Amino acid sequence: MQAPTDVAELNPPERTLMGPGPSDVHPRVLRAMSTPLVGHLDPAFLELMDEVQELLRYTFRTNNQWTIPVSGTGSAAMEAAFANIVEPGDTVLVPTNGYFGGRMASMSERAGGEVVRVGAPWGEPLDPADVRSVMREQEPDVFAFVHAETSTGALQPHVPELTEIAHEHGAYVVADCVTSLGGVELRVDEWGIDVAYSGAQKCLSCPPGASPLTLNDRAMEKIHGRDEPTRSWYLDLGLLEGYWGGERSYHHTAPITNVYAMREALRLVAEEGIEERWRRHRRVAGALKAGVRAMGLEMNADDEYWLPSLNAVRVPAGIDAGEIIQAVLDGYDIEIAGGLGDLAGEIFRIGCMGHSARPGKVLHTLAALGGELERAGAEVDVDLGIGAARRRLAQADEQPVPVDE
């Protein structure tokens, strides 16, 4: 077999990433990834690991000792959570109000759990009353929910109430924070979350490859007391504790460059301040929402549970979502996405995350989306949309955000 000779030099297109992830990566993070490689047990890297853990605790708003970046994408952190906290025979309560509740169910079943479900329509949050009712009936060992549902653009607004209900019944709480960490208010300790995981490529604006995970002492006690080891060797937190804990003993070769990237992305979070970062996402995404509505489009989620980091916009009647998404990509180099599962073809998913949560990018996206919808025959007013977004950015009651990049 001959070596291929027609492979050109790598030259990916320059896109503006305004979809459900990844988001645009800050130049400082890209520079961090180009710095020299060291070994995964090098003293310099071990010191860097400590720094990443401390920065993650700040971002999660937790004092949990067991806070690490899992080697893998957000799905690896998700699987690490369920593979370890769920033991064979455990009852696991999962939501049905979005795509990622289904993934929680699948991972729980693979870990040997027996899944029960609590429902809500796609695009709406769980009702605490419904959760309480199912808790009384099923007495689950683990309760899982999605804090920011990427598939529907809905935020779960009742987290402290949900965790209180779960703990009253002795259940461990697992929170999917993939699209909220670093962009939407999240307080792991204050809200009583036992296990939380996220992804790097969303509001942290970091390339995928190392994913945040945090567990409190209560959760780790359950894991240490398992009757049998987790079915995943690679994601066994009992084994990983030797590498990310005090001993720093070999378990696997960490994705060193991705850990560099996460460290720099988290430094940016700390420099901005986590609460200011939450406010920036609300300000800039609020301008996107105002522009969408003024243009003549509808949001999928009500204001009460609108998710700033992922804006789900209803596709106008008679419009092919896929054609618009492709036209925006081809004509403007802007990536947005369509719906998943029950909402396939019915919504546009527009991210407003991390380095992409900037006024210029939002205005550019509104102009591109509106222009292509208008060309396709939708009744939209692009100028009204852009004007509303600009006014929202300039409101006196908000801290000023520069419109230029």
Q: State which of 230, 246, 271 marks the end of a domain.
A: 271
The DSSP secondary-structure symbol of 55 reads H
- Total domains in the chain come to 2
Do 335 and 370 fall into the same domain? yes
With both helix axes pointing from N to C terminus, report the angle between 237-244 and 217-224 in degrees, rounded to the nearest 10.
Answer: 120
Residue 17 belongs to some domain of the structure: no
| Residue 325: partners with Cβ closer than 8 Å, 6 or more residues away | 336, 337, 338, 348
Q: Is residue 341 located within the same domain as residue 228?
A: no
Same domain, 106 and 203: yes
Same domain, 241 and 382: no
Residues 87 and 112 both lie in one domain: yes
Q: Are 324 and 369 in contact (CB under 8 A)?
A: yes
Residues 256 and 298 in one domain: no
Global pTM reads 0.95
Domain end: 254, 271, 288, which one?
271
Same domain, 385 and 360: yes
CATH of the domain at 91: 3.40.640.10
The domain in which residue 346 lies consists of 274-393
Residue 153: helix, strand or coil by DSSP? coil
Residues 250 and 289 in one domain: no
261, 360: one domain: no
97 within a domain of the structure (yes/no):
yes
190 shares a domain with 303: no
Q: Residue 374: give its domain's CATH number.
A: 3.90.1150.10
Q: Are residues 177 and 297 in the same domain?
A: no
Please give the chain's pLDDT, 405 residues, in tens: 888 888 999 999 999 999 999 999 999 999 999 999 999 999 999 999 999 999 999 999 999 999 999 999 999 999 999 999 999 999 999 999 999 999 999 999 999 999 999 999 999 999 999 999 999 999 999 999 999 999 999 999 989 999 999 999 999 999 999 999 999 999 999 999 999 999 999 999 999 999 999 999 999 999 999 999 999 999 999 999 889 987 889 999 999 999 999 999 999 999 999 999 999 999 999 999 999 999 999 999 999 999 999 999 999 999 999 999 999 999 999 999 999 999 999 999 999 999 999 999 999 999 999 999 999 999 999 999 999 999 999 984 455 444 333
